[in-house]
Chain A
């Protein structure tokens, strides 16, 4: 469905959202979807150039702020919060989305690589949540925290040992935080995206084809045969759940994971 600005309801009008890993992919798509619905968005990412280029593509620059940020750094994150408050005055929604993917069999995975995946994907989310949740609590008017987990936060996969451990870990963090923040009216949930059509996925098809001596189409076909709806997810397909979780339509909902995977995990 093409996004026609005139038809999109401003259901997030007046809201301020902070999104990590927003320089591309899911984070950027969520920032765009939020802004299209009236929110001011703060985009955080470690890759400054990519981030700034991405931020400039958003339609309303008055409602956009880009901050280069290493999510594992608590001081930098505190500074990012201060910059957010200086620019927009308050925060309503935090999307801890930053993450990296390392595909390697456990028995071949270097310890340093394992630590990097856990550090960025899990510890980084913890730091973001801690710093921003404290602000939400002090504001006293509720709020929303959303973690990007994964299909692989619900089940494992070959070469996904580190990634899956970090994404499962996010579920435990999310549920515990939900239990702690409920009395402040802050809802905490996670999104588990399935197999999405991204540059990374396309590159993986090519890489796998070479490794397994198959055509790219054969590799893609094998994956698609496992998805009941028959196609990869588009980033715009994910926007819906992140918008829902940030909006007033979502009530009494906390500590839960929302799977957006075209049916991948049913069979």
Chain B
């Protein structure tokens, strides 16, 4: 089966995707800065093999090292799923240049350099795909999260540019835009709200599906994009949000 690199695969959507890839027989290099969690995930009993790799992708060395490790371990590379993200919620005046740069480095810069690092290997695959986790936050904005929204929207543009450049080489580039998926990742947002419970009720009332999503709601889209069934799909965003952005 295929070889997949998941950056940010120890928790949440990344972990669900890692499990789903492995369940269908793919080998996965799971890169995450939470190495104990990565090792725990890699030790799960599933069809496809999994190797944990210690990487904080704010550092470009870690990006390159994880790609090299994947190709060394499994001999090839078919899919790169860059899911790691940073979500900070602070009032405007509290943001420092370092805070901004960190969000940009993880959310927008790392995916770009994953593309650069992985492209020479992906070119040799007959089912090559880059998938970035953007967000419905690329289309909507909330106070306190300027770097998150800017970087997630930036990924939409990045995907188009990379698709134009890499699709002639047979590498598809797309992003997924999960909506409100109920994981620990959103903690900073909920903590920033004046009344957390009221905010959550209000949000859910605005989602046609009347619930937040789960990581497993998103894995189908990721696996579809990484499969030959999506061979003519490139430069797009796939939104999984229970109808949140449809209204």
Q: Which residues of A contact B (CB under 8 A)?
A: 1, 175, 178-179, 182-183, 194, 228-230, 233-234, 237-241, 243-244, 247-256, 258-263, 265-267
**A258: B residues at CB distance < 8 A:** 233, 236, 238
**B241 interface residue, CB < 8 Å from A?**
yes
29 A-B pairs in the complex with CB atoms less than 8 angstroms apart:
A175-B243, A175-B246, A179-B243, A179-B247, A182-B208, A228-B164, A238-B232, A240-B231, A241-B224, A241-B233, A247-B220, A250-B224, A251-B217, A251-B240, A252-B179, A252-B213, A253-B217, A253-B240, A255-B241, A255-B246, A255-B247, A259-B233, A261-B232, A262-B234, A263-B163, A266-B161, A266-B163, A266-B235, A267-B160
Alpha-carbon distance A188/B180, docked complex (angstroms): 18
Choose one: A230, A241, A252, A259; the contact of B242 (CB below 8 Å). Answer: A252
Supposing A243-B229, A252-B241 touch, asked if A230 and B168 sit within 8 A by C-beta, the answer is yes
Nearest chain B residue, comparing its CB with the CB of A252: B217
A253 engages B164 (CB within 8 Å): no
A249 engages B164 (CB within 8 Å): no
**A267: B residues at CB distance < 8 A:** 160, 164
Question: Among the interface residues B159, B168, B210, B214, which one has the most CB atoms of the partner chain A within 10 A?
Answer: B168
A1 engages B243 (CB within 8 Å): no
**B209 interface residue, CB < 8 Å from A?**
yes
**B230 interface residue, CB < 8 Å from A?**
yes
Alpha-carbon distance A263/B161, docked complex (angstroms): 10
Alpha-carbon distance A230/B167, docked complex (angstroms): 8
**A238: B residues at CB distance < 8 A:** 232
Nearest chain B residue, comparing its CB with the CB of A245: B224
**B159: A residues at CB distance < 8 A:** 266
A182 engages B242 (CB within 8 Å): yes
Choose one: A178, A229, A249, A260; the contact of B168 (CB below 8 Å). Answer: A229
A73 to chain B, nearest CB (A): 29
Supposing A182-B210, A194-B232, A233-B232 touch, asked if A228 and B163 sit within 8 A by C-beta, the answer is yes
A249 engages B232 (CB within 8 Å): no
**A249: B residues at CB distance < 8 A:** 220, 223-224
Alpha-carbon distance A238/B233, docked complex (angstroms): 9
**B104 interface residue, CB < 8 Å from A?**
no
**B119 interface residue, CB < 8 Å from A?**
no
A229 engages B232 (CB within 8 Å): yes
A195 to chain B, nearest CB (A): 10
B208 engages A254 (CB within 8 Å): yes
**A260: B residues at CB distance < 8 A:** 232-233
**A252: B residues at CB distance < 8 A:** 179, 209, 213-214, 217-218, 240-242
- Known A182-B243, A240-B230, A252-B242; further 8 A-B contacts with Cβ < 8 A: A183-B210, A228-B164, A233-B232, A247-B220, A252-B179, A254-B243, A259-B236, A266-B161
A156 to chain B, nearest CB (A): 19
Choose one: B168, B218, B224; the contact of A244 (CB below 8 Å). Answer: B224
Alpha-carbon distance A248/B220, docked complex (angstroms): 8
**B216 interface residue, CB < 8 Å from A?**
yes
B246 engages A266 (CB within 8 Å): no
Which 7 pairs from chain A and chain B are nearest by CB? Answer: A255-B246, A240-B229, A182-B208, A249-B220, A228-B167, A252-B217, A237-B232
Choose one: A233, A240, A266; the contact of B227 (CB below 8 Å). Answer: A240
Supposing A194-B232, A233-B232, A253-B239 touch, asked if A179 and B208 sit within 8 A by C-beta, the answer is yes
Choose one: B168, B229, B230; the contact of A228 (CB below 8 Å). Answer: B168
**B236: A residues at CB distance < 8 A:** 258-259, 261
Alpha-carbon distance A250/B216, docked complex (angstroms): 10
**A237: B residues at CB distance < 8 A:** 231-232
B243 engages A251 (CB within 8 Å): no
B242 engages A228 (CB within 8 Å): no
**B245 interface residue, CB < 8 Å from A?**
yes
